[in-house]
Amino acid sequence: MSNRPLPTIYPETQFYWDGAKEGKLLLNACNACDGKAYFPPRPFCPTCGSRDVTVIEASGKGSLYSYIINHLPAPGYEPPFTVAVVMLDEGVKMVANIMDCPADPEALTLDMPLEVTFEQRGDLSIPQFKPAGGAA
């Protein structure tokens, strides 16, 4: 069992964590904004404020938008490790760790293709990302 921190789950985010447990990356989309996806999960659109939102399944594919290599200790993490901003194909940015890839600028190329993977932490599945196709 991982000793990494667990997220706090709220009623508004329960769908997201339930989907992750099933191996699905779920996002909200705003019907008033022509189905534009957004993250993090919330019951209203951050752009227009509409509560006419739905849940969609993301492709799980994206690219490396930005990253840092953390060299400081953090609970449950062995430095160095990568914290990244991932641009999903749906146009949404997410912060996640990069798994199965060295925490090294030689291995981390901006715009490199990524795909979702799920890290087990107790009863939860945490969406993280790895190089698409397993290539690092």
| pLDDT tens-digit map of 69-80 | 999 999 999 999
Q: Give me the pLDDT at residue 99, please.
A: 96
Residue 2 is assigned to a structural domain of this protein: no
Question: Scanning the structure block, which residue is given the tokens 């534009």?
Answer: 36
- CA atoms of 135 and 17, how far apart (whole Å): 27
Through-space distance between the first and last CA atoms of the chain, rounded to whole angstroms: 26
pLDDT band at 3 (very low <50, low <70, confident <90, very high): confident
Domain count, the chain: 2
Domain of residue 115 covers: 60-136
71 with 33, same domain: the answer is: no
| Domain identity same for 116 and 75 | yes
Shared domain for 136 and 78, answered yes or no, is yes
pLDDT at 133: 86
3 in a domain, yes or no?
A: no
H helices, E strands: number in the chain: 1, 8
Task: Please tell me the pTM assigned to this model.
Answer: 0.92
In this predicted model, what pLDDT tens digit does every residue of 15-64 receive, in sequence order? 999 999 999 999 999 999 999 999 999 999 999 999 999 999 999 999 99
